[in-house]
Structure 1
Amino acid sequence: MSDFASLGLPRWLVESLQAMKITRPTNIQAACIPEILKGRDCIGGAKTGSGKTIAFGAPMLAKWSQDPSGIFGLVLTPTRELAMQIADQFAALGATVNLKVRLIIGGESMTDQVAMIKENPHFIIATPGRLAHIIMENEDECRGLKRVKYLVLDEADRLLTDSFTDHLQTCFEALPNSNKRQTLLFTATVTDSVRALKDRPVAPGKQPVFLHELDNVDTVKIPSTLRLLYVLAPVVVKESMLHNILTNEDYKESTAIVFVNRSETAEILRRLLRHLEVTTTSLHSEMPQSERTNSLHRFRAGAARVLVATDLASRGLDIPSVELVINFDIPRDPDDYVHRVGRTARAGRKGDAISMVTPNDLSRILAIEDRVGVKMEELPLSDNKVIKQSLKAVSKAKIEARMDMEREGFGERRKRRKEREGKTKRRK
């Protein structure tokens, strides 16, 4: 494999990569960097942890350093946490060249963010919802976006779903025409909707889209170091079984992520487990941004052994040494399961992924097994007596958790946000 200099990157950028202890390009970096430098639009597919951020970030920075004017690039990504991680990487890469990177995400002062955009930073890393809201409310202040030379859609398969359609459309309308900028799509899952973009007509003189799929990402490969397990979990004892798994002899010291489908479930489990003296933090959309950031810091630092999270934590986040993933709720989409269990057994380490299966989950489990090509093994749990003995304590903790949430007005932020969005749509 070649080094970064031979891919066409300038010396200062190669040295920045070396300072970050990155000396050899990964497959997706080696494939995509030269093509992006040639001016081609690009679709890059590779599994989580393969270096996609540098695959699109390095060539953009190389081109920026030749002509550092205006807002040079915009990176859109589905979650605040991913946006923060990408912004950190850009800042590290450009630390020696006075690179101005600005983060535009929900949960922060919109007035401050409008001022940031008006300053025309070199790169903007944003979530589509917040950027779209700013564009709609402050069109004149966002005119600098019309000079953008690069648009990146990170986790493109997730962005190209109905839930982001309106926000993306608003963002695209504020940018130059697609024939006057490069568009880079990167994802761990190359869906048909992503792949179809390769065959769209291109303007005269514009090169065809470059598509790179590493190891055929449609074929999911489960690492040999990852065990896929399940437990049959009647709804009435589900929380007790979760507590039993987290505290039994095999897993009582393990760093774990517990995935759920709803923010309310995440908050209940966080409070419930804390009442039961399991050091737990959480990550979900109902948390203020400062709490979301602190929660991830606590988990990464080992101050909390368990992170209870929605799919905000399933994609792209760099969370090292997770030993156990528990699907408290089974995801509707098998690809979401793949992203979740990909949080463990990374870089050759061992890991277990346990799915808690209720009678209503059978079709989802069969779809997941078909997708990954592996049958889950049943995890032997403690005797039912042990779970029944803990049921009383768990039930009490759950009641206390719900009472706490009621007192604190959990869900009010979502209600107010929906009201604001409704007013914005009516004005449009």
Structure 2
Amino acid sequence: MSDFKSIGVSRWLSESLNAMRIYTPTAIQKACHDCIGGAKTGSGKTIAFGAPMLTKWSEDPMGIFGLVLTPTRELALQIAEQFAALGAAMNIRIAVIVGGESMVEQAIKLQGKPHFVIATPGRLADHILNSGEDTIEGLKRVRYLVLDEADRLLSNSFGSDLQRCFSILPSADKRQTLLFTATVTDAVRALKDRPTPTNKPKLFIHEVDSVDKVAIPSQLETYFMLVPSYVKESYLYSILSHEDNEKKTAMVFVNRTHTAEVVRRTLRNLEIRVASLHSELPQQERTNSLHRFRANAARVLIATDVASRGLDIPDVELVINYDIPADPDDFVHRVGRTARAGRKGQTISLVSEKDVSRIQAIEERINKKLDKYEKITDNKVIKKSLQSVSIAKREAEAEMSKEEFGERKRTIKRKSQKDDSSNYKIKKPKNKSRK
């Protein structure tokens, strides 16, 4: 029997973990009670909160036992897959509540009182607001609440949706709350000092390692390349097609959805097996892209930061920052897609003339200088790829223009601006009577 039994995990769950070739708990898995858990990516945070929840649930498998909130659809689906695998022997029922799927079908699942609900805050808030009492009634007796990628969830962008979700849940003294993150921010730490019910122990923080070690694993090689911004695609293609990298699985991170689509189509035109993951794609295409990449049907995944957190794709060997993120913590999360669970990995950042200050902030955050990547030279790029990549990019942009890529997003933005302007009233100055 594995060491999981020694930390209170039930026998059936220990056997399930053994079947998945997970034999020994990691530090974060040993430390999980009522807590804020901070540990580097790839350290097994899902099992850290899943194992105690499933152990307690198996003692009394009634109603909606646990709710897991997470910032992205892909993370929600991944967590649900792991819960399903762990609880297969106990006929576990799970509902995934995310955007891009049928509200009606999700409402039916919630009404059926699944054992665990894995949700994004926005879609669950929609159900609380619109789907009726029968749909949300089961959430009022939840025993466990988990905030995964808590630093992201506690940012302003999720504030109102989180408040709506919390409004339907049992009070803090009637549920157990667990927060997990690879980045323990000040907002997360501040929760430690919040008042707790008198019958509950004070919330504690468990950070597995120092901040710097959590940020960048020692087995991760970090490089940069200085490149002109107007020919970045040529340098990217040269890296991916270099003999040292041509067989590697790679994730390429960009800052905008439009860039993601241009890069994907350009690389596809150059006969690289590529997929993309960004918010402009329908949910089914997002899911298919992830499945293709995991199955190695696509060797390269072009993604915005929707894919930077938590996704467990074990065989990513190379992460390329095509665009440099404004927030150094986003860099940490991006490169955390490789060098996971003790494996080696490599990251290369394409640094243009406007990115120097961002790179300096990143180096300060990770307490490490990036090394210069010297396997690609300007002469090689000009000689071997500049012309072919330029043609492929023009074809990609012509396709996107013909298909009106991004028009739906632009229409929504124009409508929002129109609504805002119609709600704005100019106050006329009052006429002052002369005496």
TM-score of the superposed pair, with normalisation by structure 2 = 0.91
| Cα contact 2:212–2:367 (8 A) shared by 1 | no
Shift of 1:133: 1.6
Indicate the SS of the match to 1:69: coil
| Cα contact 2:73–2:98 (8 A) shared by 1 | yes
The amino acid that maps onto 2:116 is F
Counterpart for residue 92 of structure 1: 85
Distance 1:231 1:84, change over 3 A: same
What is the aligned length? 419
Shifted more, 300-309 versus 377-386: the winner is: 377-386
Counterpart for residue 42 of structure 1: 35
Q: Distance in 2 between matches of 1:26 and 1:220?
A: 14
Quick check: 1:402 aligned with 2:402?
no
Q: Distance in 2 between matches of 1:3 and 1:348?
A: 20
Shifted more, 290-299 versus 151-160: the winner is: 290-299
Aligned equivalent of 1:113, options 89, 102, 106? 106
Q: Residue deviations 1:333-368, cap 9 Å, x none? A: 111111111222234433221111111111110011
| Cα contact 2:182–2:214 (8 A) shared by 1 | no
Shift of 1:413: 4.4
Structure 1 gaps, min length 5? none
Distance 1:13 1:188, change over 3 A: same
1:215-294 to structure 2, matched below 5 A, reads 215-217=209-211, 219-220=213-214, 222-294=216-288
Distance 1:86 1:422, change over 3 A: farther
Indicate the SS of the match to 1:285: coil
Q: Distance in 1 between matches of 2:201 and 2:225?
A: 51
Shift of 1:312: 1.9
Q: Distance in 1 between matches of 2:294 and 2:348?
A: 21
Indicate the SS of the match to 1:195: helix
Counterpart for residue 24 of structure 1: 24
The amino acid that maps onto 2:262 is I
Quick check: 1:61 aligned with 2:54?
yes
Distance 1:357 1:373, change over 3 A: same
Q: Distance in 2 between matches of 1:112 and 1:189?
A: 35
Shift of 1:419: 8.6
Of structures 1 and 2, the larger Rg is shown by 2
Quick check: 1:150 aligned with 2:158?
no
Indicate the SS of the match to 1:375: coil
Shifted more, 342-351 versus 52-61: the winner is: 342-351
Q: Distance in 1 between matches of 2:185 and 2:320?
A: 26
Quick check: 1:188 aligned with 2:182?
yes
| Cα contact 1:188–1:217 (8 A) shared by 2 | no
Structure 2 gaps, min length 5? 423-435
Q: Distance in 2 between matches of 1:65 and 1:347?
A: 29
Q: Distance in 1 between matches of 2:415 and 2:213?
A: 42
Shift of 1:188: 0.8
Distance 1:424 1:197, change over 3 A: farther
Counterpart for residue 131 of structure 2: 138
Distance 1:422 1:31, change over 3 A: farther
Q: Distance in 2 between matches of 1:42 and 1:383?
A: 49
Shifted more, 362-371 versus 298-307: the winner is: 298-307
Aligned equivalent of 2:76, options 83, 90, 99? 83
Q: Distance in 2 between matches of 1:287 and 1:394?
A: 24
Q: Distance in 1 between matches of 2:54 and 2:350?
A: 45
Shift of 1:9: 2.1
Distance 1:161 1:424, change over 3 A: farther
1:337-348 to structure 2, matched below 5 A, reads 337-348=331-342
Identity level (%): 63
The amino acid that maps onto 1:11 is R
| Cα contact 1:189–1:218 (8 A) shared by 2 | no
Q: Distance in 1 between matches of 2:201 and 2:419?
A: 39
Shift of 1:219: 4.8
Q: Residue deviations 1:151-170, cap 9 Å, x none? A: 10000011111111111111
| Cα contact 1:345–1:351 (8 A) shared by 2 | yes
Q: Distance in 2 between matches of 1:424 and 1:139?
A: 28
Q: Distance in 2 between matches of 1:419 and 1:135?
A: 28
Indicate the SS of the match to 1:349: coil
Q: Distance in 1 between matches of 2:104 and 2:156?
A: 28
| Cα contact 1:220–1:371 (8 A) shared by 2 | no
The amino acid that maps onto 1:345 is A
Q: Distance in 2 between matches of 1:98 and 1:347?
A: 29
1:293-332 to structure 2, matched below 5 A, reads 293-332=287-326
Shift of 1:218: 5.5
Root-mean-square deviation (CA, aligned residues, Å) is 2.3
